[in-house]
Structures are given as C-alpha cells and as structure tokens.
C-alpha cells in the first residue's frame, strides 16, 4: 500500500475526533465574542462536560466549528462567524428569559 492510499484513512481518523469550542461575550467589555477554550478529542469532551455541569447550552454546528477551529484561544471571532454566533446568542437570551434568568442583553455601541 502506498503512502497516498493511507493518507485519507489517517485524515478520517483525525476528523472523527470530537471538536468543541467555548465562546464568551461580555457586553461593554468585549467588542466581539472570544474563543475562551477549544480542542479536539479528550479536550473537546472535557469542554462539553464542563458546559453540561454548568448548565451551559451546547450547540452542534459543524460549519461554525470549522471556522472556530482556525481561531486561537483568546482571540475574537471573525466577522464571517458573527451571523452564526448571533443566532446562538439570541437562542441563549430567549432560553434565559424563559427560565427567569437576569442576563443583560448586549447593547450596540453608539
């Protein structure tokens, strides 16, 4: 078997590993949401487990994850990801309001 034939199988094994990223947005402090944690495999599983332990909703979005995978931890998300992340934030604000939470909504800058 040549190396060319083995490469796709190796790539498939790597891409089957779970991926996860955690975002943070602090109104008035952050200009855009930031990636605060990201990883694959066991690290991704730990991020997801911590989210569950802290009642943080998890959303599966392979396209967004592909974009977030290219961003360094601590960096703001790129403008291309704003629409997808905005949908998530709207969902979270609605869920929080339904559950009686007091989350402050981000205010647009003047």
Question: Per-residue pLDDT tens for 76-91?
Answer: 998 988 888 888 878 7
| Backbone torsions φ then ψ of 102, nearest 5 degrees | -120, 35
| pLDDT the model gives residue 16 | 75
40 DSSP 8-state letter: E
What's the distance, CA 75 to chain centroid? 12
Out of 3.40.50.970, 3.30.70.20, 1.25.40.390, 3.40.1690.10, select the CATH number for domain 18-98.
3.40.1690.10
Question: Per-residue pLDDT tens for 1-57?
Answer: 444 444 444 444 455 789 999 998 888 998 999 999 999 999 999 999 999 998 888
- Exposure on the CB side of residue 23, measured as CA atoms within 13 A: 26
């Amino acid at each position: 078997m040549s190396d060319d034939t083995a490469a796709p199988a190796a790539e498939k094994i790597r891409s089957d590993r779970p991926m996860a990223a955690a975002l943070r947005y602090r109104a008035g402090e952050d200009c855009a949401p930031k990636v605060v944690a990201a990883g694959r495999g066991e690290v991704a599983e730990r991020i997801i487990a911590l989210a569950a332990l802290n009642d943080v909703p998890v959303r599966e979005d392979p396209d967004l994850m592909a974009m977030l995978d290219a961003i360094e931890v601590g960096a703001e998300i790129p403008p291309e990801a704003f629409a997808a992340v905005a949908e998530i934030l709207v969902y979270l604000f609605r869920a929080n309001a339904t559950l009686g939470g007091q989350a402050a909504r981000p205010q647009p800058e003047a």
